[in-house]
Structure 1
Amino acid sequence: MAAHHHHHEPQGADLAKAAQATLEKSGEQWTAMREQIFKALASFDKPASAYDIAEAVSKAEGRRVAANSVYRILDLFVASNLARRVESANAYVANAHPDCLHDCIFLVCDSCGQTVHIDDDHITKGVRSAAAATGFSPVRPVIEVRGTCAECDTPN
């Protein structure tokens, strides 16, 4: 039986507050630019690239924001558990429960790009154990399952 976690997943301003609390707990500052980038990231319904986020923040701020600046902040967000990186897409999603650490399992739809993050400690502990058995020390396991989501798989 899989060990699934069920979380209260804050939305909107509550998610931004949870992200801020998590970042500040790690000793980092929650700046206006970090807030804008997090809010832009959280507004996407699919994984967003740094360029997507830079464009959204640029429109909201009325000034150009460079993707390089966004990448630096996204790296901080991933390291602080505020965001997850979908490796195969070089894109990011806001972590819906930033105060809880889990390894990533992403279900990525090849048709529409929708990406769902699931927590299953049974699977991720197995991956960590298999890696450790070979003498490998995993730092941040990411599992991506490519396929078709239920919406795209349903005939019209």
Structure 2
Amino acid sequence: MAAHPHVLHEGESLAEAAAATLKAAGEQWTPMRAAVFDAISGFERPASAYDIAEAVSKAEGRRVAANSVYRILDLFTASNLVRRVESANAYVANAHPGCLHDCIFLVCDTCGQATHLDDDRLTGSVRSVASKTGFAPTRPVIEVHGTCAECGED
């Protein structure tokens, strides 16, 4: 994965970038997909499919099932629109959906915040070590648990 400038999106710009990325992948940006993306991008911390389903249900004024949200999250994950925090079974919006990087998360065990980092050298090393054993890595996931700076001040 080559180095390149990152364009970090937020707010309406993030939703537009997500829609463009999904459409470029040959998928449709439906109202339900937009509602799920709006919900997930509105959370300050990683959100579960149930949290997202509840937020979409409130916004839509009707019950939205978590299994419907899971299907959309699977598509969003495969399309690089969201990242999954594996240890929390939760999701965060990817602020640069046009960039492909392996995931590194710093997960605060106190407040639940997950900070996403990109370090292609580190994840490239993980891929290389795995490949040397004959293993074919598809998606390295690195999560570091600890205490964020904000919680560490307490």
Per the shorter chain, which TM-score range?
Answer: over 0.9
**TM-score with structure 2 setting the length:** 0.96
Do 1:16 and 1:38's aligned partners in 2 also have CA atoms closer than 8 Å? yes
Deviation at 1:85, TM superposition (A): 0.4
Alpha-carbon distance in 2 for matches of 1:6, 1:34: 28
| 3-state SS of paired residue (2:57) | helix
Q: Give the deviation of 1:140 after TM superposition.
A: 1.1
**Identity level (%):** 72
Cα drift, residue 154 of structure 1? 1.1
Aligned pair count? 153
Letter in 2 for 1:14: S
Residue 46 and residue 5 in structure 1: after superposition, are their counterparts in 2 closer, same or farther (change >3 A)?
Answer: farther
> 1:45 & 1:6 partners in 2: Cα distance?
25
Judged with a 3 Å threshold, the aligned counterparts in structure 2 of structure 1 residues 5 and 48 are, in CA distance, closer, same or farther, namely: farther
1:39 and 2:17 are equivalent in the alignment: no
> CA-atom RMSD, angstroms?
1.3
Distance, in Å, in 2 between the alignment partners of 1:57 and 1:152 is: 30
Matched, 1:127 2:126: yes
TM-score normalised per structure 1: 0.95
**In 2, Cα distance between the equivalents of 1:37 and 1:69?**
10
Change (3 A) 1:114 1:5: farther
Contact 2:6 2:99 in 1 (8 A): no
CA deviation profile, 1:47-86 (whole Å, cap 9, x unmatched): 0000000000000000000000000000000000000000
Aligned to 2:140: 141
Residue 47 of structure 1 contacts residue 93 of structure 1 at CA under 8 Å; is this kept in 2? yes
Which runs of at least 4 in structure 1 moved beyond 6 Å after TM superposition? none
In the alignment, structure 1 residue 152 sits paired with structure 2 residue 138: no
